[in-house]
Chain A
Amino acid sequence: MTESALHVEHLWKIFGPRADRIIGTPDAELSRSALKEKTGNVVGVKDVSFDVAPGEVFVVMGLSGSGKSTLVRLLTRLIEPTAGSVVMNGQDMTAASEAQLRDLRRNHVSMVFQHFGLLPHRSVIDNVAYGLEVRGVSKKDRRATAAQVTELVGLKGYEKSYPDQLSGGMQQRVGLARALAGDPDLLLFDEPFSALDPLIRRDMQNEVIRLHRELGKTMVFITHDLAEALKLGDRVLIMRDGEVVQIGRPDEVVGAPADDYVREFVSDVPKSHVLTLKWVMRPVSDEVGADSPVLPAHTVVREAARSVLANRGPVRVSEDGKIVGMVDDEDILRVVVAEED
């Protein structure tokens, strides 16, 4: 296993009395409602394992009640896990002492919250500087850093405003700036844009994409919005009733849904925006000319469409320098036009 930014193994959270006695017993295999019926306990997160690579944007997607917000809180122990381990920065969070945990929270991981969680009695700049302040950075230094970050998220000029004077989108920019100010290795987002209206949400998503491009931070992003998950995620984890249903790249989730639940879920997604040539190509046959253009297999169909349609015959698809297949107009159009298959 390569060095991962975040390594989660067999993570459990069971709410209720004597939660720790359930794991390992046959009760743990019960469905959520059956367990509640039998013991009064509720499973929040059930045996979840995954790895996040450095610099990756990892999205956890699920409907409300699926346990995704619990999962992200287990990572920094805002909620104490019942069992399992979370390793970040080479340290097992679940075994960390109070002091170690505080150190990790101060220096290595920051979180952005759905309802912002800003301090109403502090100006924007002092909110942004809060993480640095608890770390013990001097007022002058933290203000200077905070001012830079505030500018980075597009709030220059609002440093002295107070949270209740700002719109929701701007408040979330403050939340984002606060998370960035500490220069953490890992950023956690808990449905950060769910409370915002669609246009602002799109702006903020683009903002995150831009920041990711500029800063290259590892991100774990929680959302209930599939479009958001597919747009932002390098990989997507789909959760249901506390369990992992599927983990994969957006095109894998759309192209090869793990079960009917996921299939139902992704049925409305415009596939040409997500699927790559890998998912539509056919084995190479005689039809393809030796001089036809070559496109990499990870090209998204929508982007490939123009060159494929412009070419007279099929186009070759390559992966790792080898020709692995071909696509023609028909293959492209089947995805672009006949979305409703």
Chain B
Amino acid sequence: MSASTLDRPVELGAAPPEPEPKKRIPRWVGVLAAIVVWILVWSFTKGHNTLYLAGLDLTDLHVKLAKLGAGLGNNAFTDSVNTAINAIVDFLSKLVALPSAPSPAPVIGWLGVTAIATWVGYALANWRIAVLVLASFLSFGIFGFWQDSMGLLVVTFVSVVLAVLLGLPLAILIGVSKRAATVITLLLDLLQTMPTFVYLIFVFILFGIGAPAAVICTLAYALPPIVRISGFAIRDTNPGVLEATDSYGQSTWQRLVKVQVPMARKTIILGLNQTILAALSMAIIASYVNGPGLGKPVLAALTQNDFGRGLVPGMLIVLMGIMLDRLTTAASERSELIARGGGENVKRRRVILGALLVPVAAAVWYSTYALNAAVFPESQLGTNVANAANKWMDATVASLSGPAGALKDAITYGLLNPMQALLSTSPWWLSFAAILIIGLIIGGRKALVPTLICLLGLRLLDVWFDSMVVLNMTLVATLLVMVLALFFGVWMARSKRADLIIRPILDAGQTIPAFVYLIPVLALFDSTRFTAIVAAIVYAAPAAIKLVADGVRGVNPGTVEAGRSVGQTTWQEITKVQLPMAKGSLVLATNQGLLYVLAMVVIGGLVGAGALGYDVIYGLAHQEASGKGMAAGLSIVLLGVMIDRITRAAAARAGAD
């Protein structure tokens, strides 16, 4: 019995519990009032003190930052990290991807690699997964991207291994120490809020370009999921079980290895799965620092605006993602089955696996000397698909440009422009105060300090105007994301079939690198803010939809049934039972939606959204502007932290209501 429940149930005859104090004014009324005041003040002061900074203008601070950055790289630490990672990547690349001189092929040719991969698929999961692995590897070759695929696989593999080696100890630390949990969570928030291009700036400064830089920025992005998901799974072990096992006098170590970790095992593997997918999603970004892999051809296609030629390697990245996702999921399910002593005859399986090693070894051996088993035979398939895709794209753009334009105009003039006018043409002190007050109303006192610090930081970094533009795009995109999330999330939660159909699409959406869909979106909507918003929505919606769907499905079925028994309509069931009870998930989905959207901001800078994203990319390419790029990158981080803190504080308050 915890302290909080002690005074809860009141015995009959005692005074009834005091009614919860009524909130005097609903929160949204307060927000609305703040906005009205904001608009009033804005109408008298607009256009003054907006701190607008033209694209190429720099401030003293930005110049100083650039100098500071130049002094950081090329020290003994970064050099040794570079050398170590280079050695590993080099070794693996020569083994499976790059020509290993004097031979024109890697040590193990495609036939051998495919055979090994298929065998691993069977060993970890089952024959269905083995077939999927086989088909995927053959596709890499048939579409003409064998070498790039293997390169990506190597970088992903090295990054994921490093992420696990670093991440699991951190996860355990979160699991056993509350203080560690607080500190680590804060750092992870930073890492996850920091859009990938911002890493690139720092990685670029510290490690230059090449495979090590690619591995490090992939690692930085892939680390948070495994730490966070596993850490909290370990932390959230059923308290009843913990108490019961504690009562038998287990030590902290026994508690960890016998209770917490085994009970969290499924979730830990989910964390690994998410880490792998996150690593893959960095494939293209990593090619910005000249990392090897499938990202390179996609990036090349983007710069040439060649949809078809980007589509094929892009789809191969997706295929690799699906393959790895299914493989880890199936492996986790199988290990669950084995752990519960069911399912199969372990001895027989071992014999089969052993016997299968013979053809695998034969394939490896054959691929080391026969050229047609070492280098994948040439094929025109990739080129043909690319040409067909381009033809189709041209036709689609021509026929869709009407409605697409209308949609763009509606959202641009109805939502984007008015909000942007308010946010960015207010004097900076007005936006500053307004954001602070709205944050306070939504998030409560807990949100006040972080919001204030972030706003001060934004002001100091000298890119205030661009920050407001970005904040505006983020809010609009998140609004649209939540509309989609509510619609599809509720639908998926209520219909098993809808879930079955939509979920794979969402999975694909999360795995498709942003650049791949950036090309068609760009073709449809031209180079504008709206394009960036659409890209952000496509990027953020899957996660938000899944969170809403899972939250609504997690609503106590007993309560839903009780409601049904008094004859509620479907609409009443959704609005009066499922959504209010899933409130926590909805807030979480909003929080994640905001962060995902923000993460796309830099990429948005590539396609005409300008503002902070453009500052970052320009800074990446121009030494003299790298200081402003850093400032812009940090500003994005601060925006992210601010949004995150406010929504989280709001979530905590929603939970307490």
Contact = CB atoms under 8 A, between A and B. Distances in A.
B6 A105 contact: no
A78 B339 CA distance: 30
B240 interface: yes
A150 interface: no
A121 B339 contact: yes
Contacts of A76: 247
B244 A102 contact: no
B57 to A, nearest CB: 54
Contact of B3 (A42, A101, A105, A122): A42
Given A15-B3, A76-B247, A104-B249, A133 B258 contact: yes
Given A64-B9, A121-B262, A135 B1 contact: no
Contacts of A282: none
Interface stretch (A111-119, A303-311, A324-332): A111-119
Given A65-B8, A110-B248, A119-B241, A44 B340 contact: no
A123 interface: yes
Contacts of B340: 121, 162
Interface in B305-333: none
Contacts of B343: none
Count chain A CB atoms within 10 A of each CB in B243, B245, B247 and give the residue with the most: B247
Interface residues of A, number: 46
A131 to B, nearest CB: 4
Given A105-B249, A131-B248, A117 B263 contact: no
A130 interface: yes
Interface in A94-148: 101-107, 110-111, 113, 115-123, 130-131, 133-135
B378 interface: no
Nearest to B242: A117
Interface string B329-354: 00000000001110000000000000
B394 interface: no
Contacts of B240: 113, 115-117
A119 B246 CA distance: 12
Contacts of A123: 341
Given A102-B250, A120-B241, 8 more contacts: A15-B3, A64-B9, A67-B1, A70-B6, A102-B251, A111-B244, A121-B262, A131-B249
Contact of A42 (B7, B238, B250, B259): B7
Interface string B226-249: 000000000000101101111111
Interface in A10-40: 15-16, 32-33, 36
B245 A119 contact: yes
Contacts, number: 99
A325 B511 CA distance: 89
B7 A121 contact: no
B11 interface: yes
A110 B248 CA distance: 6
B244 A116 contact: yes
Contact of B9 (A36, A65, A105, A130): A65
Contacts of B459: none
Given A65-B8, A65-B9, A119-B262, A16 B245 contact: no
A69 interface: yes
B265 interface: yes
A121 B265 contact: yes
B3 to A, nearest CB: 4
Contact of B263 (A36, A120, A178): A120
Interface string A154-192: 000000101000000000000100100010000010000
